[in-house]
Amino acid sequence: MPATPAIETNIWFWIIFNAVVLALLGFDLLAHKKGHIVKSGEALGWTIFWVSLSVIFGAGIWYIYGHDKGIEFFTCYLVEYSLSIDNIFIFVLIFTAFQVPREQQHRVLFWGILGALVLRGIMICIGAAAIKQYGWILYVFGAFLLYVGFKMIFAKDAHPDMQNTWIVRISRKLLPFTDKYHGERFTVMLPATPERQVPIEDAEPAAASGSTATVAKPAFRTIPAMPARRVFTPLALVLIVVEFTDLIFAVDSIPAIFGFTQDAFIIYTSNVGAILGLRSLYFLLAGAMVSFHYLKVGLGVILMFVGLKMLSHGYFHIKPVYSLTFIIVVLAVSIIASLLRKAPPAPDEPTLSGH
């Protein structure tokens, strides 16, 4: 029986898929043309829409290319979608730290995810080419995923200061930003300003007559004239942080996908499917992320499983259906355990013992 051809070799699949994705993004942009607060009902509807599209696409892969390719797609999609959930918590921290207006959050995520698709596509192509040329890279990926998974399980959660990260500091040094948001704009044109005098808050008054002579600090300082110029708004800074954050997460997630298949088309399409659904999932789960206490542990177990799978590559083969089953079970257990976990009492509430 002839071997199933790799989907990645058919250029028409790439062209058609990307054309459909661009059309869907255009539709999404028109649907959210006006900034508004995305409520739970709307977010649920869009989540079902994006997940359904991915399921239909995966079913098409299954029908055309057979059982193994279909399972490869759904496994990669589930892993990527699960790891993307971890992004949501970081997005919450970013939007809170920068006080992003709720009606503008979807706009940031839309353009952020559009950039993520391009960056991830480049990373996938580079990774696939590197693995074909240097097979030993799989073992490097495997060891890296073991480390990341172990760290995800045992490291204590830390809330970074999102306004003081090095990417924010560099961005502020290289680019001019306004202090205030300007609606949905990423840039704004500031009018020309003439030279002017502004008071200095810590100016010292001149010494009184007859006292020891001191030189008084000038009460005003001169601000030179500035021509009209285009500057970036805080919304643009948030977009930069979101893009960079997704790039960091992609360093973890993309090597994990190579543990299930080296077919670049399967990896790329499953990534795109998961990323497209991330925005609506954010608005659906953002307020409940604190409840998924054991999700990080489950994701860590999955990453360690993939790492071991990569390190054992060439010694024994784990069937795709077993990998998919393992991932589903781990995710289900971590989510159920999180929902069953009792929240600790608030500090100002008495415990059952009355102390």
Residue 68 in tokens: 């193994």
Q: What is the pLDDT of residue 251?
A: 80
Residue 298 in tokens: 């489950």
Q: What is the pLDDT of residue 256?
A: 84
Q: What is the pLDDT of residue 254?
A: 85
CA dihedral 85, 274, 244, 253 (to 10 degrees): 80
Sequence-ordered alpha helix ranges (H) in the chain: 11-31, 40-65, 67-97, 105-133, 137-154, 166-174, 234-257, 264-276, 278-285, 295-311, 320-340
CA 140 to mean position of chain CA atoms: 24
- Percentage of the chain beyond pLDDT 70 is 85
- Alpha-carbon distance of 176 to 167, in angstroms, equals 14
Q: Within the chain, which residues score under 70 in pLDDT?
A: 1-9, 35, 157-160, 201-218, 287-291, 314, 342-355
For the chain, the domains span 7-169+235-340, 193-226
Q: What is the pLDDT of residue 194?
A: 77
Q: What is the pLDDT of residue 351?
A: 40
- β-sheet bridge partners, residue 190: 229
Q: What is the pLDDT of residue 218?
A: 60
Q: What is the pLDDT of residue 85?
A: 76
Q: What is the pLDDT of residue 133?
A: 83
pTM of structure = 0.76
